[in-house]
Amino acid sequence: MSAPMVHAEKVHKSFGKVEVLKGIDLTVELGEVCCLLGPSGSGKSTFLRCINHLEKVDAGRLSVDGELVGYRQSGEKLYELKEKETSSKRAEIGMVFQRFNLFPHMTALGNIVEAPIRVKGLGKAEAAERARALLDRVGLSDKVDAYPAQLSGGQQQRVAIARALAMQPKLMLFDEPTSALDPELVGEVLDVMRGLAADGMTMLVVTHEMGFARDVGDTVVFMDGGVVVESGAPHDVINNPQQERTRAFLGKVL
Amino acid sequence: MTSTASVTAPERLVAVPVRYWGRWVSAVVVLVLVGLFLYAMTRADVNWQTTRHFFTFPTIVRGAGRTLLISVLAQALGIALGVVVAVMRSSGNPVTGAVGWFYVWFFRGTPVLLQLLVWFNLAFLFPTLSFPGLGSAKTSDVMTPFVAALLGLGINEGAYMAEIVRAGLNSVDEGQTEAAQALGMSRGLLLRRIVLPQAMRVIVPPTGNEFINMLKTSSLASIVQYGELLLAAQAIYTNNLQIMELLFSAALWYLVLTSVFSIGQFYLERRFSRGATRNLALTPLQRVRLALLRSERAR
């Protein structure tokens, strides 16, 4: 059996004196869709950002695809990764943000081809061809030349997903991808994510969409106060929570 | 669906408009003052013929050309220095940050006229300049009026540009950096491709302002004998004593130069607001075309 895609052991992270992660244990296997649930401030987003090297882990072990995040181990010693090494690891992980973060000065196509051309050194024609295929896949083949400001929130988020996919990541991280959207636009983004899951993409999704977690998630992890309170199959965790805190949270959101 | 309730338009409202007496009074006052000024100018002892003659006089035109040249070069130097210093100041390195801070503090804190004189008289500090690997030269040979003007104006401008660029970099949302990092971009790449182009929208308007300022500040270079527009005018009026006429000739040239670059600034701002606004401001040409199209349709 190969190494899990994401493996966290007692991961700690503090901002100043505030300890946000207090020992997270979590494993995501290849091809698995894992949904992170929990109240805001529980550390879900911070954990996701740690996986993508946007934050440094203070203690514990965090590895992606068998390799430590942010450090290189040689014998007993840990060495911090150089910027270049960090960048090349990030390039293998796709990330989708709550506020889309599309590049406003580039068209939809420009957003998607930027990293494949500049980071991976892909040819312009090939990158454009791939980008068009991806836009088609997220249902936006008619928005190739639109700037982000000309797109609705749902459309922007779908472009952002296409942008992340263009790097052919082995893992996709979603940080509350539908929280900034009008309710009627949530569905179109979730549909794209459903399609991705069906194609076997390994996904770690921070979400408040219980329906999505139940239908698409292979596992559901409920976090609160910087620790994992409960995890397991969606059916068990959502329909039959064992912990009082999980029950209280689900009682409010369902 | 249209509502079928009202078929005829409602009656048009008729009301007595508010009278703005204050506006009438202030307009009359201003008109009187303008009239007095124009009357004074007709009585002034100025030979407008001379002003017009010297406007196209070769020495003056050459001076205007040099004003343009030194302004463009000094501004370019200032922008380059500004970007470097701004990046130094926003990098995590405390040494480069402190040096950047000191640069801004020193060059913004001393008059540019003084700086020009220091550069011009550098030979008193260092009689010879030696460049490693290139040999050495007498400072007085290197520090020509042109070089002194370029360094004095450009390095001073760099301190102002550094603050403008820094404000621009800070104005770009942090999410942009994160998104670029998440795609595997290095710091240099994301600065060049993602952050700077967006910062330009904030940087360009004050930079245009700085350049128009530079066109006029470059007249200070006359103190180090750089033969720009003002020095050219002075050289002539010390001979023919038609001081006002020549100052007006120079003033006309400054107005021409600043006007031309104000137009350039409009197009530059328009270019960098792509993506930030849904509808770009129309260029004058587009406005004319649109008006023609509308009048045609109306017919």
Instruction: Please check whether residue A181 is in contact with residue A153, taking contact to mean a CB–CB distance below 8 angstroms.
Output: yes
Task: Collect all residues of chain A within an 8 Å Cβ-Cβ radius of residue B198.
Answer: 103-105
Per-residue pLDDT at A191 exceeds 60: yes
**Spatial separation of the C-alpha atoms in residues B252 and B229, rounded to whole Å:** 11
Instruction: Please check whether residue A181 is in contact with residue A189, taking contact to mean a CB–CB distance below 8 angstroms.
Output: yes
**Confidence at residue A1, expressed as pLDDT on a 0 to 100 scale:** 54
**Spatial separation of the C-alpha atoms in residues A160 and A162, rounded to whole Å:** 5
pLDDT-based confidence at residue A119 (cuts at 50, 70, 90): very high
For A175, which residue in chain B has the nearest alpha carbon? Answer: B179
CATH topology for the B50-274 domain: MetI-like fold (1.10.3720)
Residue ranges for chain B with pLDDT beneath 70: 1-7, 274-280, 299
CA of residue A188 relative to chain centroid, distance: 18
Query: Is B179 an interface residue toward A (CB < 8 Å)?
Result: yes
**Confidence at residue B279, expressed as pLDDT on a 0 to 100 scale:** 65
**Confidence at residue A222, expressed as pLDDT on a 0 to 100 scale:** 94
The predicted-structure confidence for B176-187, as pLDDT tens digits, reads as follows 999 999 999 998
Q: Which of A6, A5, A13, A8 has its CA nearest to residue A42?
A: A13
**Confidence at residue B140, expressed as pLDDT on a 0 to 100 scale:** 83
Q: Where are the alpha helices (DSSP H) in A70-176?
A: 83-90, 108-118, 124-137, 153-165
**Confidence at residue B92, expressed as pLDDT on a 0 to 100 scale:** 78
ipTM (interface predicted TM): 0.91
Helices (H) and strands (E) in chain B, counts: 14, 2
**Spatial separation of the C-alpha atoms in residues A32 and A218, rounded to whole Å:** 6
Q: Nearest by CB to A52, which of B182, B187, B189?
A: B182
Q: Rounded mean pLDDT of A189-214?
A: 94
Burial status of residue A210 (CB atoms within 10 A of its CB: 0-12, 13-18, 19 or more): middle
**Confidence at residue B6, expressed as pLDDT on a 0 to 100 scale:** 56
Query: Is A167 an interface residue toward B (CB < 8 Å)?
Result: yes
Q: For chain A, give the mean pLDDT.
A: 93
Q: Which of A66, A58, A4, A46 has its CA nearest to residue A29?
A: A4
**Confidence at residue A229, expressed as pLDDT on a 0 to 100 scale:** 94
**Spatial separation of the C-alpha atoms in residues B83 and B127, rounded to whole Å:** 32
**Spatial separation of the C-alpha atoms in residues B73 and B154, rounded to whole Å:** 8
Helix, strand, coil percentages for chain B (3-state, nearest 5)? 75, 5, 20
Query: Is A106 an interface residue toward B (CB < 8 Å)?
Result: yes
**Spatial separation of the C-alpha atoms in residues A22 and A42, rounded to whole Å:** 10
CA of residue B242 relative to chain centroid, distance: 30
Task: Collect all residues of chain A within an 8 Å Cβ-Cβ radius of residue B193.
Answer: 114, 118
Q: Which residues contact A34 (CB under 8 A, 6 or more apart)?
A: A6, A26, A28, A203, A204, A205, A217, A218, A219, A220, A221
Q: Rounded mean pLDDT of A67-93?
A: 89
Q: What pTM value is reported for the model?
A: 0.78
Strand order across the beta sheet in which A67-68 lies: A18-28, A6-15, A59-64, A67-68
Q: Nearest by CB to A90, which of B182, B275, B278?
A: B182
Q: Which residues contact B73 (CB under 8 A, 6 or more apart)?
A: B150, B154
Query: Would the CB atoms of B275 and A147 count as touching at under 8 Å?
Result: yes
The predicted-structure confidence for A20-66, as pLDDT tens digits, reads as follows 999 999 999 999 999 999 998 899 999 999 999 899 899 999 999 99
The conformational region for residue A101 under phi > 0 = left, psi -120 to 50 = alpha, else beta, is left
- Listing DSSP states for A161-172 in one string gives HHHHHTT--SEE
Query: Is B91 an interface residue toward A (CB < 8 Å)?
Result: no
